[in-house]
Amino acid sequence: MNIRVLLADDEPVILRGLKKLISWEEMGLNIVGEACDGHELRQLIQKCRPDLIVSDISMPGLSGIDIIKELHEQGRQIKVIFISAYQEFAYAQQAVQYGALDYLVKPVNKQHLEAVLSRAADLIREENEGERTREMLHHYERKNRTETISELLEGLMDGDKRAAGELIGMGAIALSRCTSICLIEIDEEIGGESHWAGRERKLVHFALNNIVKETLDSCSNCLMFQKDGRYGILVQFEQPGEPIKLIKNLHDKITSFLKLKVSAGIGKPVSGIELANESYQSALKALKTKYFTGLNHIIEAEELDGAPAGEVPVISELQGEMIKALSSQNKKQLVEMTDRLLKEVVRLANGNKALAVTSVYNTILRLEHELSQFGVHAHYFRGGEDSLLDRLSAHPTFAGVTEELTSITYQIFEQLNSKLANKEVAELRKVKTYMEEHFAENITLESIAAMIYMNPYYFSSFFKKHTGKNFKQYLTEERMKHAIRLLLDTNLMIYEIAERVGYNNARHFSDMFKKLYGKLPQEYRQSAGME
């Protein structure tokens, strides 16, 4: 066998001299590359896969010690002979420590070099034909090459950089400019559950595994592995767009031949196989967004636009606009506000399903609470509030949650439309609007009754019938609602707040506040962290 040799020295004259000094081919040695510095030597090691390196120990960029240390850490069985003009014991000691075969001092003696090279060649042939062969045979008796590569790839995805060296040593990895990890997940098994029986599930995975394997067999730059129930593909490529082209082809075959819905996440490209786990994590993140983007799609990794730090969420404002649209029976505005709210929910969730579901759930609760004053009762709560949250969470994608919220708002709209057709409800709305706008004034039951041409006694019964509260209680709660806003959003003194919400006596205001909320205004402000 011809032994592959790399020469390295930062002096071209030395390289030329080494090539002419002995008859390399007659010794069965084939010079496959020459390097002028440590960085170039490292690249040639990856590209040429030498058996033997003859190198200067002191070079620009990376020293010979740096190179042999890397080889030692990667566990690569490459023999190294060092040549140097420096007769320092420390160099020789380090060289031997990391497995250097010998250390020669310039100018090199021809007979000495031939003897060292001959010994190196004998060792390499012996290892290749003896122990190394036996170890490889023993290894492949226990597991085949594909399983080994798959296991190493799984480790690499977990950040084990030693796995990269072993894959390189096995010749499984090519030298490419970019690496991307692609993940494929069966959509029917979203959430970790499957509707298939055990035997059927095995057949589906067997068929899917075969299609992926057959597709990749025609590619020289791809490796397959399985991790956490997903199919992973390591793609090495030179030109942008190669991973998406491969995955589109694979996705088409799966949907055409198996009639199976699968989602694929394509990780961001990285410059070296050692960084493959970073691409893997971005592929996972891309795959998780299928809850929002929909099933049976190919998703390329990209940063989701989350809410900027310190931004005040507008969900509450949009909920208020939806309530206004419902109470004013403006269907066009309701559709617009609902759409805006859903888009804002997705943006603020930043890929978090639980946060998105909770935001929609809270929106429905607020709609029901705010509109109950009109006698609107949401029939979708018959199973209890917990059942609504469970139902929202059970949707495999956010599209189902969107449909549910849209359906609920239209139910409320129709119920409210029926209620508002009643004259009494229309009059109640007029009263409530007036109280909301004039709560700080001296409002009395008599003055409000006169406004809608009712006698005070009938108005009192009418108000209690439609709100479930007596007039005085309702007015107090309306004033206190605004008082809380002033307590939390301003630095006004308690007596100033009392005046602004219709109380001339600050002590009376504080007593009423404590009766309603269990704390004095100042205590409430402090408990909210305002002071």
Query: If you write DSSP's letter for every residue of 396-463 in order, what string do you get?
Result: SSHHHHHHHHHHHHHHHHHHHHHHHTSHHHHHHHHHHHHHHHHTTS---HHHHHHHTT--HHHHHHHH
pTM above 0.75, yes or no: no
Q: What is the mean pLDDT of residues 394-423?
A: 83
Q: Among the residues of 273-350, which ranges form H helices?
A: 276-288, 290-293, 315-327, 331-349
Peptide bond into 50 cis (omega under 30): no
Interacting residues of 83 by C-beta distance below 8 A, sequence separation 6+: 9, 14, 18, 54, 55, 56, 57, 104, 105, 106, 108
Secondary structure (DSSP) of 252-286: HHIIIII---EEEEEPPPBSSGGGHHHHHHHHHHH
Distance, in Å, from the CA atom of 286 to the CA atom of 280, rounded to the nearest integer, reads: 10
- Better pLDDT: 136 or 222: 222
Average pLDDT, the chain: 84
Contact (CB, 8 A) for 276 and 156: yes
pLDDT at 183: 95
Distance, in Å, from the CA atom of 461 to the CA atom of 319, rounded to the nearest integer, reads: 31
Burial class (CB in 10 A: 0-12, 13-18, 19+), 68: buried
pLDDT tens, position by position, 86-131:
665 567 677 777 888 888 888 888 998 999 999 999 888 888 776 6
Pairing between β-strand 79-84 and β-strand 52-56 as defined by DSSP bridges: parallel
Query: At residue 520, does pLDDT exceed 90?
Result: yes
Query: At residue 509, does pLDDT exceed 90?
Result: yes
Report the percentage of the chain scoring pLDDT > 70: 87
Query: At residue 214, does pLDDT exceed 80?
Result: yes
pLDDT at 280: 94
Confidence band, pLDDT 50/70/90 cuts, at residue 302: low
Burial class (CB in 10 A: 0-12, 13-18, 19+), 445: middle
Give Cα separations from 300 to 22, 175, 177, 253, 272 (angstroms).
Answer: 55, 24, 19, 19, 19
Interacting residues of 252 by C-beta distance below 8 A, sequence separation 6+: none
Query: At residue 35, does pLDDT exceed 90?
Result: yes
Question: In this structure, what DSSP letter does residue 380 have?
Answer: G
pLDDT tens, position by position, 484-499:
989 888 889 999 999 9
85: number of Cβ within 10 Å: 12
Q: What share of residues in the chain are helix, strand, coil (percent, to 5)?
A: 60, 10, 25
- CA angle, 242 then 248 then 253, to 5°: 130
pLDDT at 102: 85
pLDDT at 172: 78
pLDDT at 246: 92
Q: Is the dihedral of CA 132, 135, 139, 140 positive or negative?
A: positive
Query: At residue 399, does pLDDT exceed 70?
Result: yes
pLDDT at 312: 43
pLDDT tens, position by position, 225-267:
999 889 999 998 888 888 999 999 999 999 988 888 999 999 9
pLDDT at 309: 43
Distance, in Å, from the CA atom of 417 to the CA atom of 414, rounded to the nearest integer, reads: 5
Contact (CB, 8 A) for 315 and 348: yes
pLDDT tens, position by position, 41-50:
999 999 999 9
Query: At residue 461, does pLDDT exceed 50?
Result: yes
Judged by average pLDDT, the poorest of 95-99, 133-137, 326-330, 367-371 is: 133-137
Q: Residue 504: phi, psi to the nearest 5? A: -80, -20
Distance, in Å, from the CA atom of 294 to the CA atom of 351, rounded to the nearest integer, reads: 12
Distance, in Å, from the CA atom of 188 to the CA atom of 225, rounded to the nearest integer, reads: 20
Strands laid side by side in the 29-35 sheet:
29-35, 3-8, 52-56, 79-84, 102-105
Distance, in Å, from the CA atom of 429 to the CA atom of 260, rounded to the nearest integer, reads: 54
Distance, in Å, from the CA atom of 136 to the CA atom of 236, rounded to the nearest integer, reads: 26
Distance, in Å, from the CA atom of 12 to the CA atom of 7, rounded to the nearest integer, reads: 11
- CA angle, 514 then 520 then 525, to 5°: 125
Question: In this structure, what DSSP letter does residue 82 have?
Answer: E
Distance, in Å, from the CA atom of 95 to the CA atom of 101, rounded to the nearest integer, reads: 8
Query: At residue 189, does pLDDT exceed 60?
Result: no
Residue 70 in 3-state DSSP? helix
Q: Among the residues of 130-185, which ranges form H helices?
A: 131-142, 145-157, 162-169
pLDDT tens, position by position, 124-179:
888 877 665 566 555 555 556 778 888 888 999 998 888 888 888 777 777 777 89
Query: At residue 304, does pLDDT exceed 50?
Result: no
Interacting residues of 226 by C-beta distance below 8 A, sequence separation 6+: 150, 154, 232
Residue 114 in 3-state DSSP? helix
pLDDT tens, position by position, 406-420:
988 888 888 877 766
Query: At residue 307, does pLDDT exceed 70?
Result: no
Question: For residue 150, is it left (φ>0), alpha (ψ between -120 and 50) or beta?
Answer: alpha
